[in-house]
Amino acid sequence: MRTRQIGSLEVSVIGLGCNNFGGRIDEDRSTEVVHAALDQGITFFDTADIYGGTKSEEFLGRALGTRRDQVVLATKFGMQVDPQRKGAKPDYVRRALQDSLRRLGTDRIDLYILHAPDPDTAIADTLAALDDCVRAGQVGQIGCSNFSAEQLRQAEAAVADGAARFVCVQNEYSLLQRAPERGVLAECRRSGVAFVPYFPLASGLLTGKYKQGEPPPPGGRLSAMPAENFAALDDKLAAAGRLAAFAQDHGHSLLELAMSWLLAHGEVASVIAGATTAAQVEANAAAGDWELDEAQMKEVDALAPPAGP
């Protein structure tokens, strides 16, 4: 497995998103997925305090067990756990960290991520609290998620001299959702912040199992969607069909195209993909090996146009 950098952290180019743990899959299945990821050379594990109603962190911590030091462990805070636990005020930053450390069964978080901007808290105050956590040795690096280019610039301007700064931003990005191309990727290039895309398979639309004009198969993430809502995805399903044909023409799957296309962007450090089975982990781990050339990237743009201004 190839690696890239997030700040000082070396991470596998394919990471494991643990948002299914405690929700779509139980602890035994979660453990199988974690062990499969480790066996495939995945070293970057991403979770959050809200995933699985806080169970994701617990399941992940127990599954890693004695192999904890072999991985880069990322978790997120800031979205509402309950009415009292939310946001990014300094006191809550410290409380949320202690809660995550306890659930994960570890003494440090390698990458601690603010899950979303908090409009009620000055970013300088949040950054100062996170810097305290880094200086205390309980956090290695810090990052943010769901930030715009302007919010990234504001955060950079608010960092005190010598203090910890955001080393990555984690936003939704895929062949079917290209909003980061409207400023965020350019800001990452300018500032040296790593980009970590989530939902790389567009909630399953880029796995190849959903077809235009056909009902969603049972068991998938979109299978419970009302028929009229699924029908509203027709344009995206059509684009996915075109992309699948392109991938097949080049001897690859749609999933391999989706992951490799993201990794063709130099700003992208690691693609975090969720999984509910060991087989899905193995497919994800192998999917980033296609190195698309410039001509192929242009062909892809014609099939799934870039984001507008």
Query: Catalytic residues, which ones?
Result: 51
251: exposed, middle or buried (C-beta count within 10 Å: 0-12, 13-18, 19+)? exposed
Look-up of token digits 């943010």: 144
Instruction: Outline where 20-89 has alpha helix (H).
Output: 27-39, 55-64
Residues recorded for the chain: 309
Distance (Å, whole) CA 108 – CA 180: 30
Residue 43: half-sphere exposure toward Cβ, Cα within 13 Å: 18
Q: How far apart are CA 129 and CA 89, in angstroms?
A: 8
78-79-80 Cα angle (round to 5): 115
CA nearest to 59, candidates 21, 109, 17, 25: 21
Read off the DSSP letter of residue 203.
G
